[in-house]
């Protein structure tokens, strides 16, 4: 599922927004304390959310789960002069080896791209688009960054589309009109190779849950189905690609899977 991971929006200071500002602070800013940000003065909560004004405009800022909550529920219909300064849309999926996948992605040559690799540790990151671009794709090893791992094994990899200015306005409109998937995949397709794009699209097609959300619950049957989808749509395509590049490695993985399975079943005791 496409989620907002960073959100900054401003609007003109009007009587309508003046009247609703206290309720907005109460809804989104947890335990507000006086604070300032980028020339705006207002409140920051212990959840990291900021709300403030500079005499002419209001600004609202959030990141992580709070960003998605704010971006999808903020009632901006009657606001004037709305400008979304930035919104990041992301999808987090599973793969066998996030660093390996990241380091073998082929970005479109029309975009300036930068690959960052840790020589002695996990945690690769690929940027597609320059730092000053109004739209930029960041792909990174979420497991290395967060320490979280999928129950099924493997690692989490995050595809994060960072949108600014006019692109942020378009992304926000898409998110609020249930068109975020189409918007996200359109730019992934423009920026990345067909193989990686297909991984993202197939993962989006199979998602019926949200990763990294604290109140997510599923029963045993749903969890088994999710594991099967992960094997069919992520593990197998990765193994096929690896088979072409390093057949010996795949043979060792299969051999290890077979032997480890025997040991777990107690076969090695006889």
Domain boundary residue among 81, 105, 121? 81
Domain for residue 164, yes or no?
A: no
Domain for residue 257, yes or no?
A: yes
Report pLDDT digits (tens) over 84-98.
999 999 999 999 999
Q: Give the whole-angstrom CA distance, residue 206 versus residue 200.
A: 10
In this prediction, residue 189 has a pLDDT band, given cuts at 50, 70 and 90, of: very high
Q: Give the whole-angstrom CA distance, residue 147 versus residue 141.
A: 10
Average pLDDT over the chain reads 86
Q: Give the whole-angstrom CA distance, residue 70 versus residue 151.
A: 29
Given a cut of 50, whether residue 196 has pLDDT beyond it is yes
Domain for residue 41, yes or no?
A: yes
User: Residue 5 sits in which domain range?
Assistant: 1-81
Could you write out the DSSP letters of every residue in 116-184? E--TTSS--EEEES-TT-SEEEEEEEHHHHH----TTSSEEEEEEEEEEHHHHHHHHHHHHTT-HHHHH
| Secondary structure (3-state) at 107 | coil
Report pLDDT digits (tens) over 27-50.
999 999 999 999 999 999 999 999
Domain for residue 88, yes or no?
A: no
Domain for residue 22, yes or no?
A: yes
- Mention every residue, 6+ apart, whose C-beta is less than 8 A from residue 241: 104, 195
Domain for residue 143, yes or no?
A: no
Domain boundary residue among 81, 113, 128? 81
Report pLDDT digits (tens) over 205-254.
876 444 444 333 345 555 566 566 666 656 676 676 667 677 777 777 77
Torsion on CA atoms 222, 202, 103, 127, rounded to nearest 10: -100
Given a cut of 80, whether residue 195 has pLDDT beyond it is yes
Domain for residue 51, yes or no?
A: yes
Neighbours of 186 (CB within 10 A): 13
| Mean pLDDT in residue range 162-191 | 96
- Predicted confidence at residue 210, as pLDDT, reads 41
- pTM tops 0.85: no
Domain for residue 50, yes or no?
A: yes
Domain boundary residue among 48, 81, 114? 81
The total number of structural domains in the chain stands at: 2
* H helix or E strand, kind and range, residue 60: strand 57-63
- Predicted confidence at residue 249, as pLDDT, reads 78
Contacts from 257-264 at CB under 8 Å and sequence distance 24+?
none
Q: Give the whole-angstrom CA distance, residue 113 versus residue 110.
A: 9
- Predicted confidence at residue 224, as pLDDT, reads 67
Report pLDDT digits (tens) over 46-69.
999 999 999 999 999 999 999 999
């Amino acid at each position: 599922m496409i989620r907002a991971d960073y959100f900054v929006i401003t609007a003109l200071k009007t009587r309508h927004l003046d009247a609703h500002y206290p309720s907005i602070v109460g809804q989104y800013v947890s335990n507000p304390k006086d604070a300032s940000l980028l020339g705006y003065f207002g409140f920051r909560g212990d959840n990291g959310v900021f709300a403030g004004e500079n005499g002419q405009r209001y600004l609202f800022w959030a990141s992580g789960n709070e960003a998605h909550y704010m971006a999808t529920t903020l009632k901006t219909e009657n606001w004037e002069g709305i400008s979304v300064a930035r919104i990041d849309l992301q999808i987090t999926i599973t793969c066998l080896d996030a660093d390996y996948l990241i380091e073998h992605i082929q970005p479109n040559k029309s975009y300036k791209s930068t690959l960052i690799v840790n020589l002695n540790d996990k945690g690769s990151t690929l940027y597609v688009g320059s730092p000053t671009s109004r739209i930029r794709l960041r792909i990174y090893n979420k497991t290395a960054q967060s320490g979280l791992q999928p129950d099924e094994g493997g690692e989490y990899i995050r595809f994060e589309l960072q949108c600014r200015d006019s692109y942020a306005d378009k992304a926000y409109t898409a998110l609020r009109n249930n068109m975020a998937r189409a918007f996200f995949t359109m730019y992934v397709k423009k920026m990345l190779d067909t193989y990686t794009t297909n991984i993202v699209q197939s993962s989006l097609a199979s998602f019926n849950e949200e990763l990294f959300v604290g109140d997510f619950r599923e029963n045993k049957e749903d969890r088994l189905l999710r594991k099967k989808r992960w094997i069919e749509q992520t593990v197998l395509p990765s193994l096929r690609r690896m088979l072409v590049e390093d057949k010996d490695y795949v043979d060792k993985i299969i051999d290890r899977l077979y032997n480890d399975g025997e040991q777990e079943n107690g076969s090695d005791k006889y």
